Amino acid sequence: MSRTNKSSAIDEGESVYREYILGVRIVTVRLPGEDEPQYRFEAPEHIEIRFENPELAELYADIYFDVNGFEEAGTGERGVPPEIIQAGRDTLAAYFLTQPYSDINWVASFYGKKPTEIERYIASVRKRAQEIRDGAEEMGME
């Protein structure tokens, strides 16, 4: 994961991988000289964050919707965004999984759980995020 300044324009070598409601999207970024693309998460009032695989970018988007948005700017100085901490164990586990220093085994060890239990946490976050997006769309939000 890398962090960059926010830009809503799509540049050459970029394409929208997935578009969500409320101006949230994931953009595929192909950098010159790189074989594999990166996946940039974008949301209003949120710094851009790049991931090496689309699954982590989508999980990050699900976390974003699960907590009704959060601000990542300054997290390096202040740790995990407060909205993530307040959301509960499953959302925090999902957030940890999106960080460059972790994987499913690291998160499981952190919680003293088995990886299958962490996968259930992740599934809960994804389900809630989808329910939130579905509800917002039913209310006419785009």
pLDDT tens digits, one per residue of 86-116: 999 999 999 999 998 899 999 999 999 999 9
Helices (H), the chain: 54-66, 75-78, 82-87, 89-97, 104-111, 115-138
* Mean pLDDT across 20-48: 92
* Other CB atoms within 10 Å distance of the CB of residue 137: 13
How much is the pLDDT for 5?
Answer: 42
Q: pTM of the full predicted structure?
A: 0.84
